[in-house]
Structure 1
Amino acid sequence: MKRKLFKATVAGAMALSTGFMMVPTASAVGEGPDYGGNETINTSILTTYEEMVSFLKNQEAKQEHMELEVIGQSVKDRDLYLVKYITNPNNPTILFLTQQHGNETLNTEGALEFIKHLGTGKMKGVLDGVNILILPRLNPDGAAGDVNFSLEDYVADGSYNLTRYNANRVDLNRDHVSRIQPETKALHDNVLGVYDIDYMIDLHHQGTSSERDGELVSGSILYPTTPNVDAEVLLKSKQLGAVVFDAIDSKGWGHLGKYNGGSAETISRNGIAVEYGISTLLFEMRGMADHYYEPYVLGQKSNGYLIKQTVTTLDATVRAIADRSIENADTSFWDTLPFQNTRPSE
């Protein structure tokens, strides 16, 4: 399915865990170069919408337990796809949501790699204990740069630009109450309002300069912070975060901080937890694929590690839910995990 990025960087990242490469530790992700005007940001190495659709359809044809559903259309009439693995309706269900913001790309690349894993022996038996929903790329128009406003000030030099907003210049992650945009309406009407979902990880990207304990982070996490969230939902959200933190921060190439996030229920992490009783976790990966503000854009040398970080996150949480070990996850780390701060400019 993939060309350069998906084959090269994911393959390289997977090799890290097999011992075939000698690599630096945490610096490989956290300390990777930001853009700074010093390298070309080439969007042509990313998975296009057409390539993604082709990949998903091919995997559906190959995988016994995978089902593909169109849940709606974007502003520009691109189909929005939901990947489903539902083997037992009584099992707990997790939803992975990527690319509400079109310029936040590597979580989608990781989600596609994870979908491929679900069709192999690597995940043998896991689907017996958990149902999985994956919504890759809620914002395909922003990811394609097919929008109703100018992107001429954006950094990327590839064949197209990518933007945070949908085609109507709306931030989808601030539309979870009004649901004016077709993408958020489809998510709520045809996924959240239909399936019995227990957990959700909302995968995003942030800027490049956040650090914890003086070291740049590879990502940051946060549970719902609205005061209206149910106590049990909050506990399970923190347990979900514990699984992710233990899986990533212990690897040597990952370094996570606590995200400084607001309490507004227009944000999916908060609103979805309150309205649907779903335990939610925000995951913010370091760096964006494109932006008009250069300090937000990450150079591409760490792409393989960052994609691996997403695959590890999805794999670890699915396994913990499937074997119910998530129910015993120690949430005490949240009490001492520092909020990340922005590294001062040099």
Structure 2
Amino acid sequence: MKSLKKGVLTLSLAGALALSAVPMNSTVVEAVGNGPGYGGNETINTSILTTYSEMADFLKKQDAKQANMELEVIGQSVKGRDLYVAKYMTNPENPTILFLTQQHGNEQLTTEGALEFIKHLGTGKMKGVTDNVNILVVPMLNADGAMGDVDFSLDDYVASGDRNLTRYNAVGVDLNRDHVDKIQPETKALHDNVMSKYDIDYMIDLHHQGVNSERDGELVSGSILYPTTPNADPDVVEGSKKLGAVVFNAVDSTGWGHLGKYRGGDAETISRNGIAVEYGISTLLFEMRGMSDHEYEPYVLGQKSNGYLIKQTITTLESTVRAIADGSIDTQDISFWDTLAFQQTRETE
């Protein structure tokens, strides 16, 4: 699997070497926070990213290799690409968490991390963890946008390489604004064949944001937020805040991760809000720093931060799975939310 191997190579060499050079108790955010934005100077080459077909091949190989994994097609995209969920459902009585990536096709490093996490689940690194937690992973929901196979022009997008990646699906719709009407085949597949089918307790919706957000004067590696619609059940919101506490403690303590509070809206067309209300699921939005491609240059991050963003995704998925499996999520201190600063946009020259 050519592109995934390249992504993992970026993480294992450049990312891991830099990680080892940063003290774990350091508050200096060198890796993700201060990695370069595009700025017209950085190389943005999408050929290093996993393609849809490479992802599908990878998932099928892992399905054949891993006894606890089951791969299911939940529907098709506008252009007819199969959409997948990787399932680890060892006990229906276990609490269940869903990880959702790439509703926006140009936000791919979360998918790279999710694929690496799936590989980890088949190794000794996660031995026994799936005995006490069920895991669902829906990677690359917007498969057409991820491949640039869309019915509108991408001439203004900045990346070079095999393809441009777009936020929208093939017909120009933002899937993360379609969680009430569920008109698009991608969101309909997610709701009909995942949200309605499984008894899910937690969901993390993984995205990317712009590159110039900061907290306490330092550029962030990402931002998090719980459901903010007034229609969400208070117990659901509390569970969401506990999920966020696990993520914050795991990432912000590393020295290379630095999280702020996301400024998000209350609309229930957004998955963070709509899914919490409709299904009573505790949800968390995680916005990683920088996008793979965009028409707006300040949203695109230079590739020197790729390894850290992949690592941040893996850290997020692994920490939440372990906390749910051992029950420690139930005792998380959520008071940090009261003092966690909203990220601000840094002024640029």
Normalising by the residue count of structure 1, what TM-score does the alignment of the two structures yield? Answer: 0.97
Please say if residues 36 and 42 of structure 2, whose CA atoms lie closer than 8 Å, have aligned partners that are also in contact: no
**What secondary structure sits across from 1:283 in the alignment?**
strand
**What secondary structure sits across from 2:181 in the alignment?**
coil
Please say if residues 94 and 132 of structure 2, whose CA atoms lie closer than 8 Å, have aligned partners that are also in contact: yes
Distance (Å, rounded) in 2 between the aligned partners of 1:73 and 1:210: 35
**What secondary structure sits across from 1:202 in the alignment?**
strand
1:245-293 Cα distance to aligned partner (Å, 9 max, x none): 0000000000000000000000000000000000000000000000000
1:329 has 2:332 as partner: yes
C-alpha distance 92-16 of structure 1, shift in aligned 2 (>3 A)? farther
Identity of aligned residues (%): 77
Distance (Å, rounded) in 1 between the aligned partners of 2:11 and 2:34: 19
Match of 1:22 in 2: 21
One-letter code aligned to 1:22: A
1:7 has 2:11 as partner: no
Match of 2:35 in 1: 32
Distance (Å, rounded) in 2 between the aligned partners of 1:15 and 1:152: 35
Structure 1 alignment gaps of length 5 or more? none
Distance (Å, rounded) in 2 between the aligned partners of 1:127 and 1:72: 26
Distance (Å, rounded) in 2 between the aligned partners of 1:271 and 1:104: 21
1:142 has 2:158 as partner: no
Compute the displacement of 1:9 (Å). 1.5
Work out which of the residue numbers 290, 294, 305 in structure 2 matches 1:291.
294
Please say if residues 174 and 266 of structure 1, whose CA atoms lie closer than 8 Å, have aligned partners that are also in contact: yes
Structure 2 alignment gaps of length 5 or more? none
Distance (Å, rounded) in 1 between the aligned partners of 2:13 and 2:133: 29
Distance (Å, rounded) in 1 between the aligned partners of 2:14 and 2:67: 27
Within 5 Å, which residues of 2 pair with 1:229-248? 229-248=232-251
Distance (Å, rounded) in 1 between the aligned partners of 2:264 and 2:207: 13
Compute the displacement of 1:10 (Å). 2.5
Within 5 Å, which residues of 2 pair with 1:1-80? 1-3=1-3, 5-12=6-13, 15-16=16-17, 21-23=20-22, 25-80=28-83
One-letter code aligned to 1:33: P
Compute the displacement of 1:14 (Å). 7.0
Please say if residues 152 and 172 of structure 2, whose CA atoms lie closer than 8 Å, have aligned partners that are also in contact: yes
1:339 has 2:338 as partner: no
Compute the displacement of 1:16 (Å). 5.0
Compute the displacement of 1:125 (Å). 1.2
1:76-127 Cα distance to aligned partner (Å, 9 max, x none): 0000000000000000000000000000010000000000000001111111
Match of 2:94 in 1: 91
Distance (Å, rounded) in 1 between the aligned partners of 2:206 and 2:244: 13
1:227 has 2:226 as partner: no
C-alpha distance 140-56 of structure 1, shift in aligned 2 (>3 A)? same
Residue-pair matches, total: 344
**What secondary structure sits across from 2:324 in the alignment?**
helix
Compute the displacement of 1:159 (Å). 1.5
Within 5 Å, which residues of 2 pair with 1:159-174? 159-174=162-177
Please say if residues 41 and 157 of structure 1, whose CA atoms lie closer than 8 Å, have aligned partners that are also in contact: yes
Q: Which moved more, 1:217-226 or 1:154-163?
A: 154-163
One-letter code aligned to 1:182: P
Distance (Å, rounded) in 1 between the aligned partners of 2:258 and 2:2: 28
One-letter code aligned to 1:250: S
Distance (Å, rounded) in 1 between the aligned partners of 2:2 and 2:238: 38
Compute the displacement of 1:39 (Å). 2.0
Please say if residues 22 and 256 of structure 2, whose CA atoms lie closer than 8 Å, have aligned partners that are also in contact: no
Match of 1:187 in 2: 190
Match of 1:314 in 2: 317
**What secondary structure sits across from 2:32 in the alignment?**
helix
Please say if residues 16 and 23 of structure 1, whose CA atoms lie closer than 8 Å, have aligned partners that are also in contact: no
**What secondary structure sits across from 2:156 in the alignment?**
coil
Please say if residues 13 and 307 of structure 1, whose CA atoms lie closer than 8 Å, have aligned partners that are also in contact: no
Compute the displacement of 1:345 (Å). 1.5
Distance (Å, rounded) in 1 between the aligned partners of 2:219 and 2:13: 22
Distance (Å, rounded) in 2 between the aligned partners of 1:120 and 1:334: 34
**What secondary structure sits across from 1:156 in the alignment?**
coil
1:213 has 2:213 as partner: no
Distance (Å, rounded) in 2 between the aligned partners of 1:330 and 1:236: 11
Compute the displacement of 1:13 (Å). 6.5
Normalising by the residue count of structure 2, what TM-score does the alignment of the two structures yield? Answer: 0.96
